[in-house]
């Protein structure tokens, strides 16, 4: 945990809003996961937090990447992750992405449908291995936006269609295994038992399929990693399968803090702390109704009160938290915790707001790793386009 005096100093030095990431916490999470799942291949879901400093540290720790866009593949490789340790997923996989993945010869591709294989098959790199993504079509008991394995989800293939695609791949000697990602923020261990029951017939039918990608989606902070490991490890060992997991949020969420300054308190029912950060910096509360712990850094300057923690933009959804009790007054520093995942990754320049700077802390030392945007950054590409004409 980063000390309050450090957070206060960083906010004073770099301004707010400001993202701060604890690389030691990320390393500890990697160790925990490897202890629970020895031998499993870790493929970090880059979309959770694509910061170069985070990716570089994961590369040093020997963690690979799960990428769904050209930018994510390029970021991962630029940060030192070998292309052989990159797994390409997602329902898109357009021509630019395929071209880059072919040129780099990525390690795995998860096929989301038969049309993707039609696009890949004539120029698939010899060393790239292909997985078939299965939609288990059950309720993973999470927010509907996060339920990627539910009936009607755009992700993966129902069992009959997955079987048919696997038969095509197997006939051409390109079937590596199967991939299931039931959803994100999964708390109930029974979900993974249902996944195993769903894919067992596939591994029985295709003896050449030796890789099982179980995705990620582990809930923060309440995922029961012990029960998960006790459920999955013997099942994989019995079948002598190579296990891949794609942790994203679980590795980085608790390592990140969004620092924001209270601009003023606004009386009302409820009252409102108007802050310099909101949905442009942290979209999750507006998008999912996500709740993040919020606290005053170093003690507040006001009596305890209750209200909403809101941002500065002209949107009613521009909110960081509802019905909070804080001892905060104008000028006080707030820490929006558990913001290391899908925080800066979803940040935008909506209303021409400026995206924040990023700082990492490691071994008691901190360094600025991303500059705060300037107004000139907002129109830099526009000016470049005019110059290019």
User: In the chain, what are the domain boundaries?
Assistant: 4-19+253-382, 23-251
Cα–Cα distance for residue pair 353/375, rounded to 1 Å: 9
What average pLDDT does range 133-148 have in this prediction? 57
Strand partners, 258: 19, 336
pLDDT given for residue 152 in this prediction: 56
Are 4-19+253-382 and 23-251 in the same CATH fold?
no
If you average pLDDT over each of 137-141, 148-152, 200-204, which comes out highest? 200-204
Cα–Cα distance for residue pair 236/214, rounded to 1 Å: 11
Angle at 276 between CA 274 and CA 280, to 5 degrees: 110
202 φ, ψ (degrees, to nearest 5): -70, -45
Q: What percent of the chain has pLDDT over 90?
A: 78
What average pLDDT does range 155-179 have in this prediction? 92
pLDDT given for residue 158 in this prediction: 87
What average pLDDT does range 208-212 have in this prediction? 96
383 φ, ψ (degrees, to nearest 5): -65, -40
**What does CATH list as the number for 4-19+253-382?**
2.40.37.10
What average pLDDT does range 306-321 have in this prediction? 96
Under the banding of pLDDT at 50, 70 and 90, the label for residue 338 is very high
Catalytic residue among 171, 314, 384, 386: 314
- Whether the predicted pLDDT of 298 surpasses 80: yes
pLDDT given for residue 129 in this prediction: 95
pLDDT given for residue 151 in this prediction: 47
- Strand spans (E) along 172-247: 175-179, 211-213, 242-245
Under the banding of pLDDT at 50, 70 and 90, the label for residue 333 is very high
- Whether the predicted pLDDT of 136 surpasses 50: yes
Does 314 qualify as catalytic in the annotation? yes
Structure letter (DSSP) for residue 157: B
Exposed/middle/buried for residue 31 (C-beta within 10 Å: 0-12, 13-18, 19+): exposed
pLDDT given for residue 28 in this prediction: 97
pLDDT tens, 211-235? 999 998 888 888 889 998 999 999 9
- Find the helix packing angle between 190-205 and 159-171, rounded to 10°: 40
pLDDT given for residue 378 in this prediction: 95
pLDDT tens, 101-118? 999 999 999 999 999 999
- Whether the predicted pLDDT of 142 surpasses 50: no
> What would be the CATH architecture of the domain defined by 23-251?
Alpha-Beta Barrel (3.20)
Cα–Cα distance for residue pair 145/168, rounded to 1 Å: 31
- Whether the predicted pLDDT of 84 surpasses 50: yes
- Specify the pTM: 0.93
């Amino acid at each position: 945990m980063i000390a309050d005096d450090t957070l206060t100093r960083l906010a004073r030095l770099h301004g707010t809003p400001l993202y701060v990431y604890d690389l030691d916490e990320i390393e500890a999470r990697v160790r925990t996961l490897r202890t629970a799942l020895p031998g499993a291949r870790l493929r970090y879901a880059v979309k959770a937090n694509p910061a170069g400093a985070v990716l570089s540290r994961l590369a040093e720790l020997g963690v690979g990447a799960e990428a769904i866009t050209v930018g994510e593949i390029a970021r991962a490789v630029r940060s030192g992750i070998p292309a052989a340790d990159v797994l390409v997923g997602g329902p898109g996989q357009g021509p630019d992405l395929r071209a880059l993945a072919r040129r780099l010869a990525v390690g795995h591709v998860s096929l989301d449908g038969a049309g993707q294989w039609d696009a890949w098959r004539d120029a698939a790199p010899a060393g790239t291995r292909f997985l078939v993504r299965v939609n288990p079509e059950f309720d993973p008991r999470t927010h509907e936006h996060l339920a990627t394995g539910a009936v009607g989800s755009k992700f993966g293939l129902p069992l009959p269609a997955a079987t048919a695609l696997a038969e095509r791949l197997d006939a051409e000697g390109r079937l590596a295994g199967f991939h299931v990602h039931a959803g994100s923020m999964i708390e109930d261990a029974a979900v993974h038992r249902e996944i195993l029951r769903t894919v067992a017939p596939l591994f029985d039918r295709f003896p050449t399929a030796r890789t099982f990608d179980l995705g990620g989606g582990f809930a923060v902070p309440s995922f029961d990693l012990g029960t998960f490991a006790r459920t999955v490890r013997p099942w994989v060992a019995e079948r002598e399968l190579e296990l891949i997991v794609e942790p994203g949020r679980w590795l980085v969420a608790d390592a990140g803090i969004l620092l924001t300054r209270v601009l003023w308190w606004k009386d009302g029912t409820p009252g409102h702390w108007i802050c310099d950060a909101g949905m442009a910096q942290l979209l999750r509360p507006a998008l999912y109704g996500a709740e993040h712990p919020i606290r005053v850094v170093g003690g507040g300057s006001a009596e305890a009160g209750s209200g909403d923690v809101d941002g500065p933009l002209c949107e009613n959804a521009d909110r960081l938290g509802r019905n909070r009790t804080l001892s905060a007054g104008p000028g006080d520093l707030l820490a929006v915790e558990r913001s290391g995942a899908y925080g800066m990754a979803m940040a935008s320049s909506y209303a021409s707001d400026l995206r924040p700077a990023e700082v990492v802390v490691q071994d008691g030392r901190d360094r600025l790793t991303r500059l705060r945007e300037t107004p000139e950054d907002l129109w830099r590409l526009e000016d470049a386009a005019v110059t290019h004409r």
